Amino acid sequence: MVADYAVRVEQSRGRRYPEPPHPYRDDFQRDRDRVVHARAFRRLEAKTQVFTRRYSDHFRNRLTHTIEVAQISRTIAAQLGLNSDLVEALALVHDVGHPPFGHAGEKALDAAMQQHGFSFDHNLHALRIAEDFELRYASFRGLNLTFEVREGIIKHSHDYDAREHPELAEYLLDLRPPLEAQLIDLTDEIAYNTADLDDGCEAHLLSVEQIAEGSALFERSYREVRELYPGAAEKLQFNEALKRVFDRLVTDLIANTRARVAAAGVRSVEDIRRHPGRLALFSPEVEKERRQLKDFLYENLYYSPALEGEKEDAERIVSELFAHWMEEPDDLPRSYREKSAQEPLPRVVCDYIAGMTDPFIFQQYEKYCGN
């Protein structure tokens, strides 16, 4: 049953370019499908999440991570009576703006842009993809997504200041996003916190004992599992413990968000929007556990010496290619050269690099910067 505070598709603020209704899909379902069929979505398969394929070809990439976020998000949305179609569309589109090489690529791209007085933000880039870069329709540029999906791209994980981003004024920056969008940043974190423990162990960069020492949430789950399955293989004990960590995070997010919504007395989407803060949150106890787990991953995995070389390579490749195309814009593809007549060259170069997959940017680096 859909809650009173859920977004209703029939009350959508609509698309930038009006379209006739579809005979058997509503607008949020159509948005979901447009994202799935977008080139930017397909490219996520060849973009790094944390580990490159040097470690294994069965570790998460941006696409498999996105699918996991969508699964978690649908489950929670159903329990909270939210619009599952909108939630799924937002989950599927939330990472399309990421450049190659994961966060190392994003860091390098932003640093390159800062040198020219600009910046790179993957949420803002995702909106550019949805509004302009995808060319699939004769009637308009972009995907012509509904307002609610475009708003969620911008606001699901960050509150932008209208004074700093006047170009985003239409997205009600002084108001909270609906709960459907608020969920995505939290489900994203549930997905990558648990997945990165899994992949980190598989890559032999983390040990079960190390995780238990660094995360009280995991340690408690692992102790329970070892008592319950004393004869099981260590990998299966680890899997069972990770499932318990996952379940605690999801269950708490559902229960605590439900309680906060009830305590706030909200009855509509407008009430959600005008609430002083976001209502989708973990409880204080689980938030502390989540923070400890995230800190552990940063200290022991993301900044691991074993990954440092790849991060440095990624940052160097992005930086050197950016500098090359700034100096030699004629080496850009024709479509990007044409764009540079209307937009600043740094933005055009940034757009080109951000859309690349890991294998393609390696090819371009070898072509233009290789010795």
The per-residue pLDDT for range 339-370, each reduced to its tens digit, is: 999 999 999 999 999 999 999 999 999 999 98
pLDDT in tens, 301-348: 998 898 888 889 999 999 999 999 999 999 999 999 999 999 999 999
Cα separation of 107 and 113, whole Å? 10
Instruction: Give Cα 291 distance to the centre of its chain.
Output: 18
Full-model pTM? 0.95
pLDDT digits (tens, 9 = 90+) for 3-18: 999 999 999 999 999 9
In the chain, the domains with their CATH numbers are 26-308 (1.10.3210.10)
* 122's tokens: 């993957």
Q: How confident is the model at residue 371 (pLDDT cuts 50, 70, 90)?
A: low
**Residue 256 CA: distances (Å) to CA of 75, 123, 259:** 15, 27, 5
The structure tokens 């660094």 sit at: 214
| Average pLDDT, integer, range 70-94 | 98
Supply the pLDDT for residue 306: 86
Distance CA 103, CA 302 (A): 10
Residue 123 has pLDDT above 90, yes or no: yes
Asked if 192 and 236 touch (Cβ cutoff 8 Å), the reply is no
pLDDT at 88 over 70: yes
